[in-house]
């Protein structure tokens, strides 16, 4: 038995309360792997869980954190040994299973990916679920034949976690990246990540009742949904693809069949939670090699457990740009 620190969320009459408490590894759920967590990260879903918002966590009190990277200290699975460095993202981690905001997690072996050569725990958690989702989006449009010579690729919600990494990944691969953002003061930040140009969110937010618009984007990565996604679809060039992975603007969007049957465009859904383990391993390998972002530190703010609560409030209010790294080591 080992005692450790964990971020703790409790439901109260006034909403939720946050604290950092001491727990025991005996309190953790069953699983083949006991992992000492070095780093986690803050994603929008973590903030939803920590604020008690519906659709993420059913049972409280609870430790959020859908991401974790660290070292195995106990294993009953033949595929892993004590001392192996691993990444755990998705599945039920941090939702209803005690998550990465604790210094230890216990998880099933089939949730874990061995740390690929070329990445360390800190880098892996700067990437985290948000960056992994961005990589899946890039992979999806590549599967449809996307290449840099096609023309500009628009990234919506570009200052967010997924958007920031998407800008950096696309730029690394040589794409002309157009970053869409509602934060005019972040233009220089987005260009430092590799955006060739930055447009206002308002340029894509206005309702356009026409079924199609001028062919503007070779491809797109949309992290927000709603009217913005509708306008990206309408503005895709012939044969273009948009990978979709978010709904902070709205889960609903409007379109007709016309862009699909007249311009042969593709709308590609992306899920990082229940993705087959083999595909997770493939994407993490790419994130350690050809897709490893060059601008990780430029997009990163680091916090400890006792600083999490303030950042959780800020991300819910739209006040966080880039990635927030959570350091678990004392």
Buried b (16+ CB within 10 A) or exposed e, 56-91: bbeeeebbbbbbbbbebebbeeeebeeebbbbbbbb
Token output for 316: 């819910």
pLDDT band for position 39 (cuts 50, 70, 90)? very high
State mean pLDDT over 63-80. Answer: 98
Question: Percentage of the chain with pLDDT > 90?
Answer: 91
Q: What is the pTM of this model?
A: 0.95
Interval 88-144: pLDDT, tens: 999 999 999 999 999 999 999 999 999 999 999 999 999 999 999 999 999 999 999
Tell me what pLDDT residue 169 has: 97
Q: How far is CA 276 from CA 143, 186, 272, 280, in A?
A: 17, 36, 9, 6
Q: Can you name the residues that pair with 12 across neighbouring β-strands?
A: 15
d(CA 235, CA 3): 55
- Above 90 in pLDDT, residue 209? no
State mean pLDDT over 196-214. Answer: 93
- Above 90 in pLDDT, residue 163? yes
Interval 216-230: pLDDT, tens: 999 999 999 999 999
Write down all domains in the chain, each with its CATH number in brackets: 3-115+296-327 (3.90.180.10), 129-269 (3.40.50.720)
- Above 90 in pLDDT, residue 295? no
């Amino acid at each position: 038995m080992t005692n450790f620190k964990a971020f703790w969320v409790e439901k109260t009459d006034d909403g939720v309360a946050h604290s950092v408490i001491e727990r025991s590894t005996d309190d953790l759920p069953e699983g083949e792997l006991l992992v000492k967590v070095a780093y986690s990260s803050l994603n929008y879903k973590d903030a939803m869980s920590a604020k008690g918002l519906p659709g993420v966590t059913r049972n409280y009190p609870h430790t959020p954190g859908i991401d974790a990277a660290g070292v195995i200290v106990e294993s009953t699975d033949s595929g892993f040994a004590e001392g192996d460095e691993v990444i755990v993202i998705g599945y039920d981690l941090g939702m209803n299973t005690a998550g990465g905001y604790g210094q230890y997690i216990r998880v099933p072996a089939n949730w874990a990916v061995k740390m690929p050569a070329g990445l360390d725990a800190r880098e892996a958690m700067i990437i985290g679920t948000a960056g992994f989702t961005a990589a899946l989006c890039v992979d999806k449009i590549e599967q449809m034949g996307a290449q840099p010579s096609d023309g500009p690729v628009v990234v919506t919600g570009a200052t967010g976690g997924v958007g920031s990494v998407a800008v950096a990944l696309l730029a690394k691969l040589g794409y002309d990246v157009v970053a869409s953002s509602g934060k005019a003061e972040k233009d220089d930040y987005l260009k430092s990540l590799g955006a060739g140009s930055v447009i206002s969110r308002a340029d894509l937010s206005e309702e356009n009742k026409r079924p199609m618009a001028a062919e503007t984007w070779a491809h797109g990565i949309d992290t927000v949904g709603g009217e913005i996604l509708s306008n990206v679809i309408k503005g895709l060039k012939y044969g273009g693809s948009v990978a979709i992975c978010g709904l902070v603007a709205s889960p609903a969007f409007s379109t007709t069949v016309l862009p699909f049957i007249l311009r042969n465009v593709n709308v590609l859904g992306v899920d990082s939670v229940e993705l087959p383990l083999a595909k997770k391993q493939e994407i993490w390998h790419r994130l350690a090699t050809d897709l490893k972002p060059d601008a990780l530190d430029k997009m990163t703010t680091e916090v400890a457990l006792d600083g999490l609560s303030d950042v959780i409030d800020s991300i819910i209010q739209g006040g966080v740009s880039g990635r927030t790294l959570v350091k678990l080591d004392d």
